[in-house]
């Protein structure tokens, strides 16, 4: 499974399961899924903007004619790169966890359109956000299309004669994450519970709950794993991500106990073992999540502070395109 090609487009996993892959899987370049049986269809997630979602739906329709009408759209979580194309899936019922729906209503597309539009006024955090998302995706014309059916815990659906299980595993990446499991095909679409060859980003946490989500995948008889970002993987991919999360939790704890702050800890932790993983700037977000976990704090972090810290880490490595400087001192 892990050797399937990582190429843009629709990949036939067999027996009516398909994955839409978008390399390189970095910020905003997310995957989606399609399940078809006896003329019924279920789409797992839409993409970050209308252009990319339209391209995906058109290609699905060409390759899988039944997908011209999507009966059910499942959103694995609330992030825009998995939901901002929802409005194009006309007539479908949209299913998600109730926490996912709450987050989508709290932070609608116009919130992000305004935020990305104001990047010049937001210092390094804004420059970074623009580089990795605002300049890549067009959020104009996106309107809110929140879930119409919600659940807590788990929900079983039928797509034709195929049964599909939705399993709530958040809070982890976001407050309302879910997995889409197709037992008879030993396939799971994980949304952003799985990143392959990229650092995961723990927005909500706790990390221990994300580790538990990995165990829930591994406890099932699954073979093919379609991540939210990156190449199709297998059980080893889940074990690798679990290792990363356990490692960050253990290493962050040592530095928390030694009195380092989250930024100092992130700079101090050796990532040699994961050095070929993309988006290393996310480590500081994950250390911050670990720190909140140690302090018994639930809820969400301050995203602008974390974007500021990621910007600093990213620009120190790659230079800043806005001011053409590689120093951590910027004046734009
Ligand atoms: Zn994502």
Question: In angstroms, what is the span from residue 87 Cα to ligand 1's centroid?
Answer: 18
Question: In angstroms, what is the span from residue 150 Cα to ligand 1's centroid?
Answer: 20
Question: In angstroms, what is the span from residue 37 Cα to ligand 1's centroid?
Answer: 26
d(CA 181, CA 98): 19
Q: What is the pLDDT of residue 65?
A: 97
Cβ-Cβ contacts under 8 Å for 125 (sequence gap 6 or more): 304, 307, 308, 310, 311
d(CA 95, CA 44): 10
d(CA 249, CA 223): 27
φ/ψ (deg, to 5) at 331: -135, 65
Nearest to 88 by CA among 31, 162, 145, 160: 145
Question: In angstroms, what is the span from residue 199 Cα to ligand 1's centroid?
Answer: 12
Token pair 């993983």 in the structure block, residue: 277
| Region at 166 (left for phi over 0; alpha for psi -120 to 50; beta for the rest) | beta
The domains of the chain, with CATH numbers, are 9-321 (3.60.15.10)
Q: What is the pLDDT of residue 4?
A: 87
- For the record, the structure tokens of 207 come out as 């990390």
Question: In angstroms, what is the span from residue 112 Cα to ligand 1's centroid?
Answer: 15
Question: In angstroms, what is the span from residue 73 Cα to ligand 1's centroid?
Answer: 16
DSSP letter assigned to residue 219: T
Question: In angstroms, what is the span from residue 258 Cα to ligand 1's centroid?
Answer: 33
Q: What is the pLDDT of residue 330?
A: 53
Q: What is the pLDDT of residue 115?
A: 96
Question: In angstroms, what is the span from residue 259 Cα to ligand 1's centroid?
Answer: 32
CB 76 within 8 A of CB 177: yes
Nearest to 179 by CA among 8, 80, 33: 33
Alpha-helical regions (H) of the chain: 50-63, 80-83, 98-106, 109-117, 123-129, 207-218, 235-257, 262-268, 283-294, 303-318
Predicted TM-score (pTM) of the model is 0.95
Strand order across the 93-97 sheet: 9-14, 17-21, 32-37, 40-44, 72-74, 93-97, 149-151
Question: In angstroms, what is the span from residue 192 Cα to ligand 1's centroid?
Answer: 5
Question: In angstroms, what is the span from residue 47 Cα to ligand 1's centroid?
Answer: 9
DSSP letter assigned to residue 140: T
Question: In angstroms, what is the span from residue 151 Cα to ligand 1's centroid?
Answer: 21
Q: What is the pLDDT of residue 183?
A: 98
Question: In angstroms, what is the span from residue 229 Cα to ligand 1's centroid?
Answer: 6
Cα–Cα distances in angstroms (integers) from residue 118 to residues 52, 80, 125, 128, 129, in the given order: 23, 17, 11, 12, 10
Instruction: Give pLDDT tens digits along the chain (332 positions).
Output: 557 899 999 999 999 999 999 999 999 999 999 999 999 999 999 999 999 999 999 999 999 999 999 999 999 999 999 999 999 999 999 999 999 999 999 999 999 999 999 999 999 999 999 999 999 999 999 999 999 999 999 999 999 999 999 999 999 999 999 999 999 999 999 999 999 999 999 999 999 999 999 999 999 999 999 999 999 999 999 999 999 999 999 999 999 999 999 999 999 999 999 999 999 999 999 999 999 999 999 888 999 999 999 999 999 988 766 665 544 455 44
Q: What is the pLDDT of residue 135?
A: 95
Nearest to 278 by CA among 329, 236, 227: 227
Question: In angstroms, what is the span from residue 194 Cα to ligand 1's centroid?
Answer: 9
d(CA 289, CA 273): 21
Instruction: For residue 182, list its beta bridge partners.
Output: 187
Q: What is the pLDDT of residue 56?
A: 98
d(CA 133, CA 279): 13
d(CA 73, CA 90): 10
């Amino acid at each position: 499974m892990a050797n399937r090609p990582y190429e843009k487009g629709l990949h036939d996993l067999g027996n009516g399961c398909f994955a839409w892959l978008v390399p390189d899987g970095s910020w905003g370049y997310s995957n989606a899924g399609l399940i078809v049986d006896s003329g019924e269809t279920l789409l797992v997630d839409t993409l970050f903007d209308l252009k990319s979602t339209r391209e995906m739906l058109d290609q699905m329709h060409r390759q899988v004619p039944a997908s011209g009408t999507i009966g059910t759209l499942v959103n694995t979580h609330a992030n825009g790169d998995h939901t901002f194309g929802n409005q194009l899936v006309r007539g479908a019922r949209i299913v998600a966890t109730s926490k996912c729906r709450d987050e989508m209503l709290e932070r609608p597309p116009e919130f992000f359109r305004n935020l990305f539009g104001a990047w010049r006024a937001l210092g390094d955090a804004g420059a970074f956000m623009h580089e990795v998302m605002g300049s890549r995706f067009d959020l104009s014309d996106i309107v809110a299309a929140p879930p119409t059916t919600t659940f807590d815990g788990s929900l079983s659906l039928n797509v034709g004669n195929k049964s599909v299980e939705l399993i709530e595993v958040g809070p982890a990446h976001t407050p309302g994450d879910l997995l889409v499991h197709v037992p008879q095909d030993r396939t799971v679409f994980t949304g952003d519970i799985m990143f392959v060859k990229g650092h995961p980003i723990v927005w909500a946490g706790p990390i221990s709950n994300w580790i538990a989500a990995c165990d829930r995948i591994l406890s099932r008889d699954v073979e093919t794993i379609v991540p939210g970002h990156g190449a199709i993987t297998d059980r080893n991919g889940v074990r690798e991500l679990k290792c990363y999360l356990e490692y960050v939790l253990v290493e962050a704890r040592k530095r928390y106990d030694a009195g380092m702050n989250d930024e100092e800890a992130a700079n101090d932790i050796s990532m040699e073992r994961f050095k070929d993983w993309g988006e290393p700037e996310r480590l500081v977000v994950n250390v911050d999540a670990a720190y909140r976990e140690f302090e018994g704090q639930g809820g969400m972090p301050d995203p602008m502070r974390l974007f500021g810290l990621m910007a600093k880490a990213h620009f120190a490595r790659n230079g800043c395109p806005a001011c053409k400087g590689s120093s951590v001192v910027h004046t734009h």
